[in-house]
Structure 1
Amino acid sequence: IRLNVDMETKSKSKITREPVRLYAKGIFMGFKRGQRTQKENTALVTIQGCQDRKSSAFYHGKRIAYIYRKNNAKTALKYKAIWGKVVASHGQSGTVRAVFRKHLPPRAMGSQLRVMLYPNKQI
């Protein structure tokens, strides 16, 4: 909650609530792979603002979600999610490895994921 105060007139204006985002944006880059094989059970995710291996260590153990639109919206729920977990860093550039409950579809490559900022190990 933030209280806006005008310093010239010393008048208090209306209390405004700034939205709080509880997730970081990530992009699904592809699957973990070797030279000739592809491991669909492990996804590689680049997290926005995460530039090196040290900063990617913060996200270990965090939940991650791929949210997509359903094909037939007969019910009120129009979106579905595939949940996963960040398990390790990948390389030196801040990319992380994530394991999902169901494998991500190939059409999800390049799309946005939500990396939840909980559970937090810092508490």
Structure 2
Amino acid sequence: MEGWIVSFRRGMNKYYPRQVILSLDGVTYKDAVKVIGRKVLWVHPETGEKFVGKIVRMHGRRGHVLAYFKRHLPGQAVGTKVKIV
């Protein structure tokens, strides 16, 4: 399964580079509950470095989910694909 990184989780005055909002292909609000707990993999396009995260909860009512990564992601990760393992 694949998805897209929509944005970092943001507050009013700061953002959280370890927490990202994901939009998953073909996943609706009711189906998003089933992907909680799965691992997420993002590969850096230039260096090939792998970043591993975990889907922890839903975000909103459109099927978006929130994922926490072990290391913070670079800004160029926004708008790129991730793989759901």
What number of residue pairs does the alignment pair up?
85
- For residue 70 of structure 1, report the CA deviation from its aligned partner: 4.0
Q: Which consecutive unaligned segments of at least 5 residues does structure 1 have? A: 1-23, 72-78, 117-123
Distance change in 2, residues 1:57/1:36 (3 Å)? same
Please name the residue that 1:58 is paired with: 34
Q: TM-score by structure 1 length?
A: 0.64
For 1:41-52, list aligned pairs within 5 A: 41-52=18-29
Partner SS, residue 69 of structure 1: coil
Whose RCO is larger (CA < 8 A, sep 6+)? 2
- For residue 85 of structure 1, report the CA deviation from its aligned partner: 0.3
Alignment equivalent of 1:80, drawn from 25, 45, 49: 49
How well do the aligned residues superpose, as a CA RMSD in angstroms? 1.2
Q: TM-score by structure 2 length?
A: 0.91
Q: Which consecutive unaligned segments of at least 5 residues does structure 2 have? A: none
